[in-house]
Amino acid sequence: MFGSITPEPPHATGERAGGPLIVTDDERLLDDLLRLCAAAGSEPEVVFGAPPRASSWDTAPLVLVGAEATDRVRGSVARRKGVLLVGRDLDDSEVWRRALDIGADHVLLLPDAETWLVDRIADIAEGVGQPALTIGVVGGRGGAGASTLACALAVTSARAGRRTMLVDADPLGGGLDILVGAERTGGLRWPDLADSRGRVNSGALEESLPRLESLSVLSWDRGDSVLIPAQAMRSVLGAARRCGGVVVVDLPRRVDDGVAETLAQIDVGLVVVPAELRAVAAATRVAAAVSMVLKDLRVVARGPFSAGLDDRETARLVGLPLAGELPLESRAVGALSGGGPPGSTGRGPLARFCTAFLAQALAGGGSVPV
């Protein structure tokens, strides 16, 4: 499959779940909930002034019950998960008892809870499940091979059939789309997303990016460098994670506000450190900056190794746990030499490292054993 990776057209991310069920006797509350559903891109089923049908109650992905309508629910339908009691009166001491009566998961008081509720409804509309395992890769020094490792991790994940997104967060890195051979594939790049605010629809993001089989790529165009605000980074990376599967982020060696937003959404980070004393010294400074935000950071030691500076000693000097070693590999240049993206053959030390690391990380839900 990925031995000769070829572009594919955008495709849908799967069937979306239906909208929430609204049960209320309050016209004003109904107007508010309809407005919030519209903001989340969801079309609800409404039951106004009557008990809900058992079929609607049982199958709705989310149920919003007005605080004034609990008597219509209590005793008429079975208890279930995913029921939210929605009210407006902060001084209503009975709202918590009503929530217990119908087995509600949460009590939401508007307008304070509007943002939380829109996000929850949007999750349902997008069919959001388990967030993506998100891996950050950063070089301990320039030319360490971080971009190669990031591409190989993403390609390895996609070769296994997982929904995968490769995100180039380094505007000065030359463009990961070139490294995977997607520079001529149509789709949005970072400059197109620089004005993103609030919640970005995960399905729309995935469908708009250049695709190579199971792999989506978010990189840069060939124009002038564009500053991506921290808010846009937060919105876009949040949408990428909601797509599920695996997200791999190639990180710059500096930490500014935008990079800090990216690091906050990463489950585990890998710093690639060549086994050289100068590289170790540089990596120690990079690791100190990155670790201020990303707590789970590991060393990938890159050979060739000398007798006094092997993989374990490299990690010890940097002061981080060792994720593994990468011997120097002649095919690492990948697409630039016409041999396909890094990791595309599934053979060699690079592919073996990526396969083993992903298996551990996915089995641990993002928590890789030290």
Distance of CA 137 to the CA centre of its chain: 14
pLDDT for res 367: 59
d(CA 314, CA 327): 13
> What does the pLDDT read at residue 243?
86
Rounded to whole angstroms, what are the CA distances from 56 to 20, 22, 59, 104, 236?
A: 10, 10, 5, 16, 34
The span from the CA of 250 to the CA of 136, in Å, is 6
Q: How far apart are CA 232 and CA 193, in angstroms?
A: 7
pLDDT at 16: 47
pLDDT along the chain (370 residues), means of 10: 41 56 96 92 93 94 95 92 91 88 94 89 76 94 93 94 94 84 89 86 88 90 82 90 93 92 94 96 96 94 90 96 82 51 86 94 69
* Amino acid, res. 283: A
pTM for the complete prediction?
A: 0.74
